[in-house]
Structure 1
Amino acid sequence: MIRNKKKKKRNNKKRKKKKRRKEEGKKKKEEKKEEEKEEEEKKKQKEEEEEKKRTEGEEEEKNKEGREEEEEKEKKKKNYKKKDELR
């Protein structure tokens, strides 16, 4: 009888230990997944910000080029007007 009790106790301890380890493993896996998700989100945000900066930079360059072209056209118009006035 005593042997059976001790055996049961030992087996219960083993079962509990196994259960605990299993749960800890699950928790660790979940934490890893969450961390990976957070890292991916951060990467996506960084990429989006970089893309915004690139597009803004490109738009600014286009605007500058457009302004320069407009200024050149205005200068040409003024020159033509001056030439016409001189004639």
Structure 2
Amino acid sequence: MIEKQESLFVKSSENYVEIFYEKEHDIQHETFRNTLGEISRQAAFLRQCHRSYLVNISNIKMVKGNSQNAKIEFHQHGLDTSKIVDQYTMDTTA
């Protein structure tokens, strides 16, 4: 189960997902055999922002750039988020 408070984003590669989260002020990740669609159904608070990424919008501080070159800045520091935002428009009203 993905915790809303701790989760940052989910990265998909074929039938595997990498879940990135904050634990004890450190960024950690775990890999599971699952699909992005299934994770999206299990965790409705995650929003798709790229064909391979889901993000927890409650942990986003700012989105910079445009659809061709955007970066997500999380409240937590030290994350390289280039390539996460693509043609998907995030609905931040949830």
| Band the TM-score falls in, shorter-chain normalisation | under 0.3
Higher gyration radius (CA):
1
Task: Decide which structure has greater helix share.
Answer: 1
Q: Tell me: higher relative CO, structure 1 or 2? Use CA pairs within 8 A at least 6 residues apart.
A: 2
Q: Tell me the TM-score normalised to structure 2 length.
A: 0.13
Task: Decide which structure has greater strand share.
Answer: 2
